[in-house]
Structure 1
Amino acid sequence: MTVTPVLCPNCRTENAPHRTLCVHCALLLDPGPPPDPRPPWWRRILRRGPGKTHLAGTRPRRARRRPRVLLPVVLLLLGAGVWFALPHLSGLLGFAKEETGAPEAVVPSAFRSSSAVSGHPAAAAFDGFNNRYWAPRESGDGRGQYLECSFTQPVRLLKMVVLSGTSARKDEFLTQARPATIAVLLTSEDGKETRRTIRLADQAGQQTFDVRGSDTVGVRLAVESAYGTGEGRRVAVAEVEFFGHRP
């Protein structure tokens, strides 16, 4: 009777059929079938574990079945969390939309100022054109002079654009004094005030600042210092624009 040798899958050495390990490299000659793939997590949770192996000749005790309460408790807690979060879900979605959406122009409905020289009222700084400007009656450094505006409905402010001087054109920009620092006061619907000081560069054209305020109904811009001051020169502001979200 011919005996067929067993070839080692590693070194291809011939081995006797009764051998378990290769005589040359000691590799397992018959590793058996590959292990079963690991089941997904949800099957591992629902699957009952393997029973305990008992020694031969011993009588296994009857095991008491324990209720599987972990999964129902987790589902119950998740359901309760969703239930209590529903009233706040719309607000959270609205806040996320405001934070990620592009801001829009929010135009004030009323304007006023500490004073204004003839032909250059407060409204000229909020009319959307940079060829008109606001200037106070008093000349000098403009300290204490201010612009105010209000909104018909509360708005969520994000940014403010300021064009200082008399115009965005370089040949007209230096004809009057220009604000250097401005104290910004935001007033919300409930009366809460938010303060911030911005510093402007002495250059023509628009300058953008992050000015954030929720439920804002009023804004005051007070001049704290200025460039190019002198006798007969007034601090001028060509344009102020606000960007944010309406309710």
Structure 2
Amino acid sequence: MILAVVLALCVGAFLLLPAGRALFEDTRDKLSDPRPVTPARTSASAEVPGHPAKNTTDGLRNRYWGVPAAGASVTYTFGKPFRLVDLLITNGASKDPEVYATEGRALRIDVEVTTEDGERHDKQLTLSDKPGPQPFPTGISDVKTVRLVLRSATGLTRGRHLALAEVEFFQRS
């Protein structure tokens, strides 16, 4: 009987190990003070003149990356792997409400995170159509690249383009 109980405990511990590890990492994420991480390289599938993708990581929320239509993507490559705790996205042309509505905005962003070992994590973020930064918790370890694909545009009328002001990455301290 004792052997059966010990065996059941071992099997239970083995089966619950991934869930326990995830709970442990999430707890560490919440108890730490997140620090910003700057990508080593930024590249985009499209840009409108005067609004390059590097504007999304310049720390200024009054300059933006502009693209002609939804479906465009930007890829951020990092110098060394890190645990991505949070993603902070400032949608539109600016955090200023008057400037925000002057260009199109994405209402959904597909996020593709690739880790050091090549594993890919996909997330779909739904953005509010409002100015200012919007936080998204992630909790993914050993991140090497993050690719954002802009989807579901609003405010994209003739003479306007799709704008993304700022993307900020945070790691566990």
Query: What interval of TM-score do these two structures reach, taking the shorter chain for normalisation?
Result: 0.7 to 0.9
Q: Which runs of 5+ in 1 are unaligned?
A: 1-93
Match of 1:100 among 31, 36, 43: 31
Query: 2:155 matched to 1:155?
Result: no
* 8 A contact 2:29–2:85 mirrored in 1: no
- The alignment-based identity, stated in percent, is 35
Q: Secondary structure at the match of 1:172?
A: helix
* 8 A contact 1:163–1:207 mirrored in 2: yes
| Structure whose residues are more often strand by fraction | 2
Mapping for residues 61-210 of structure 1, pairs under 5 Å = 97-98=28-29, 100-136=31-67, 138=68, 142-210=69-137
Q: What is the TM-score normalised by the length of structure 2?
A: 0.81
Q: Secondary structure at the match of 2:54?
A: helix
Cross-structure match for 1:213:
140
Q: CA deviation at 1:98?
A: 4.8
Q: CA deviation at 1:143?
A: 2.3
Tell me the amino acid that sits aligned with residue 191 of structure 1: G
Tell me the amino acid that sits aligned with residue 134 of structure 1: W
Aligned-CA RMSD value:
1.8
In structure 2, distance between residues paired with 1:97 and 1:160: 17
Q: CA deviation at 1:112?
A: 0.7
Match of 2:157 among 225, 230, 233: 230
Q: Secondary structure at the match of 2:65?
A: coil
Which structure's CA Rg is the greater one? 1
Cross-structure match for 2:170:
243
In structure 1, distance between residues paired with 2:157 and 2:28: 48
Q: Which runs of 5+ in 2 are unaligned?
A: 1-23
In structure 2, distance between residues paired with 1:126 and 1:107: 7
Q: CA deviation at 1:244?
A: 1.5
Q: CA deviation at 1:218?
A: 0.2
Instruction: Detail structure 1 runs of 4+ shifted over 6 Å in the superposition.
Output: none
Q: Secondary structure at the match of 1:236?
A: strand
Report the count of equivalent residues.
150
Tell me the amino acid that sits aligned with residue 160 of structure 1: L
* 8 A contact 2:29–2:139 mirrored in 1: no
In structure 2, distance between residues paired with 1:132 and 1:143: 19
Q: What is the TM-score normalised by the length of structure 1?
A: 0.58
Tell me the amino acid that sits aligned with residue 171 of structure 2: G
